[in-house]
Structure 1
Amino acid sequence: MPILALLRLRSNRFYGHIPSELAMSKELQFLDLAYNKFSGSIPHSIVNLSAMARNSGYSEILYRSIAGPPGPQLYNYMYAIISFRESVSVLTKGQQLGFSSQLSYMVFLDLSCNNLTGEIPQDIGALIALKGFNLSWNQLSGEIPVSIGQLKALESLDLSHNGLSGEIPSSMSALTSLSSMNLSYNDLSGKIPAGNQIETFNASVYMGNIGLCGPPLTWSCPGNSSSQDTHGNHHDLGDISLNLAVIIGFVLNLWVVFCLMLFKKSWRVAYFVFVDELYDKIYVTVVVRFAIWKRKCGI
Structure 2
Amino acid sequence: MPFLSSLFDAPSRWTKLDPLASRAGATADRLLPGGRVRGLLHGRPAGHPLHPAMAMLPVGTSVSALLLDVAAVLVPGGAALGAPARGLAAASVATVAPTALAGWADYVDLHRDQQRTAIVHAAGNAVAATLWTASLFAGRRARLLRTAGTLVAGGAGALGGHLAYRWAAGPNHAEHLFHLAGGGEEFSDVGPLDDLPEGRPAQRRIGDAPLCVLRRGGSVMAITDTCTHLGGPLHEGEVKGTGEGTTITCPWHGSEFRFSDGEVLDGPASTPQPTVETRVADGRVLARVVGPPR
TM-score class, shorter-chain normalisation, is under 0.3
Larger radius of gyration: 1
TM-score (norm 1): 0.23
TM-score (norm 2): 0.23
Please state which structure has a larger fraction of its residues in helix: 2
